[in-house]
Structure 1
């Protein structure tokens, strides 16, 4: 399928939002316009729409080998993360704290605070992976549930989830993970995680549908009240259009995963080799990373002018996680990895995806080289 993006836009911010699969969204929208009935209604038209939602739930259970009723649809990744953390509060009402990675999306830390959890942040270094010795020590001295995303939003580093899973289970604890950057981007061993989240807008399905996989089926895990939708876990009319898009795009992404990642790895290698020759530092270069993500430190101080210069040429990159990119604050994860505030403020993220072409990549490299030389002078 082709991207709807024009040749004037070279988009390298896939980790924030994947451009939509236009044909899929148009097809699902056409179906929605004809069959707009509320899936919670009692007519056969409503029941048909509820059946489509349950079909997607069943599809996700087949893909992940999870239990159907433990997949809960919501509207955003943030909401999905809040529901995931709320499940901890319901299952362990006396639990006071958890162990968490330093790389989480800000919504995860906010959810922990919202539900009254203190948290110990795992140590790390410039590798961008958590310190497994620190985790082992924490679990040995004071076992607590562990929350660690599988792939970093900024660095793209893939965490050693199998080892984390083993350590956590030896301690009899729960292991939760944010799979926003991993789902449909790399093979995911879902069985290592007791609970997890992902979102349709990260894979090209548009806004409006995110998923929480709960560790158990428990009706007391209920983020919103006022209705019995989503097996009573999340009141509110389901976005049947977005949920249908999620399934159809997931099918496309899954079927093309190996071919796509081979292409993206070639792009990543070419981009990084060229940017290093310009004086850029690739963060966590030698670690196991997503093939679509490059997080780097520019050899210039005028990052804002650099970003504006790229945008004038129709090239879009970001300064990191989209939840804080507007603030232009130093990345907390980079600071915890041991980088200085000055280095963290010079960091940008380049993330590619399904619709990225060699023409896009060459434009990015050429314009970056031109801007760095210009701004250095």
Structure 2
């Protein structure tokens, strides 16, 4: 399927948001316009819409091996993460501290703060992979829940989920994971996680639907009160349109997952060979990474001019996590990995996806080379 973009933009920021699949969004919108009834109502029309939501819940159960009632739909990844952390507070009312990776999205750290948890960070280095020996030490000293995203939104590094799972089970605690960047990009070992989250807009389903998988169907896990929607986990009328898009795009993404991984790995290799020849440093180059993500340090100081230069050519990249990139702060992930603030401020992320073409990639490589040479 080709991108619907009719302008000349070459888009390389898929980790921030995936361009929508127009055919899917349009077909779902057509259905919504005809069947707009509140899924929480008592008429057969409402019940039919509620049935569609339950079908999506059943579909997620099928592809993940999870229990249907433990899937909760919300509006954004941030909200999904807050519900995930809120469930920890209910499970462990007297818990004060949680073990966390240094690579989490800011919404995860914010949620932990909201629910009164202090955090102890797992050590890492320039590989961008957590130190399992340090995690073992932390759990041995005090068994506590572990939160570690599966794939980094900046580095793309895939964390050792199986080993983390084994450690948490050895010490009798739970393992939660933010799957926002991994879902529909790589195969996911869902059984290793007690709870997790992912979002529709990261895969091309548009804004408005995210998912939390809870460790159990406990009605005390309630992000909002005021209604009994989502098995009492989240009050508020469900976004049936966005939930429908989420399922349809997930089906499409998984159908072509193997081919997409192979194609994007080829793009990643071609891009990074070129970047290194221009003097760039590829971050976590030798680690197990997402096939669509390249995070690198430019050999120039004038990063803002570099970004503006690409934008003038109709090319969009980013400086890392979209929640922080506008502020132009040094990436905390890179600081934890041992990079200096000066190095971190020269970091650029390029992330590809379903609609990326070889022609676009070659234009990106050429323009990047030209800009680096001009700005050196």
Normalising by structure 2, what TM-score?
1.00
Equivalent position of 1:44 in the other structure: 44
* 1:99-248 map, 5 Å: 99-248=99-248
Equivalent position of 1:275 in the other structure: 275
Distance in 2, Cα, partners of 1:16 & 1:181: 9
Distance in 2, Cα, partners of 1:293 & 1:2: 20
Equivalent position of 1:68 in the other structure: 68
Distance in 2, Cα, partners of 1:365 & 1:281: 15
Answering whether residue 58 of structure 2 is matched by residue 58 of structure 1, we say yes
Equivalent position of 1:360 in the other structure: 360
Matched residue of 2:183: which SS? coil
Segments ≥4 residues shifted beyond 6 Å: none
Matched residue of 1:326: which SS? helix
Query: How far did residue 2 of structure 1 move?
Result: 1.6
Distance in 1, Cα, partners of 2:316 & 2:74: 29
Matched residue of 1:224: which SS? coil
Superposed CA offset, 1:252-303 (max 9, x none): 0001000001000000000000010000000000000000000000000000
Matched residue of 2:325: which SS? coil
Equivalent position of 2:3 in the other structure: 3
Query: How far did residue 87 of structure 1 move?
Result: 0.2
Distance in 2, Cα, partners of 1:90 & 1:172: 17
Equivalent position of 1:31 in the other structure: 31
Answering whether residue 265 of structure 2 is matched by residue 253 of structure 1, we say no
Query: How far did residue 6 of structure 1 move?
Result: 2.7
Distance in 1, Cα, partners of 2:273 & 2:330: 25
Distance in 1, Cα, partners of 2:198 & 2:247: 12
Distance in 2, Cα, partners of 1:333 & 1:291: 19
Distance in 1, Cα, partners of 2:82 & 2:179: 14
Query: How far did residue 187 of structure 1 move?
Result: 0.2
Aligned-CA RMSD value: 0.5
Matched residue of 2:326: which SS? coil
Query: How far did residue 7 of structure 1 move?
Result: 5.2
Normalising by structure 1, what TM-score?
0.99
Query: How far did residue 5 of structure 1 move?
Result: 1.5
Distance in 2, Cα, partners of 1:278 & 1:2: 30
Query: How far did residue 309 of structure 1 move?
Result: 0.5
Superposed CA offset, 1:6-39 (max 9, x none): 3501000000000001100000001001111111
**Structure 2 unmatched runs, 5+:** none
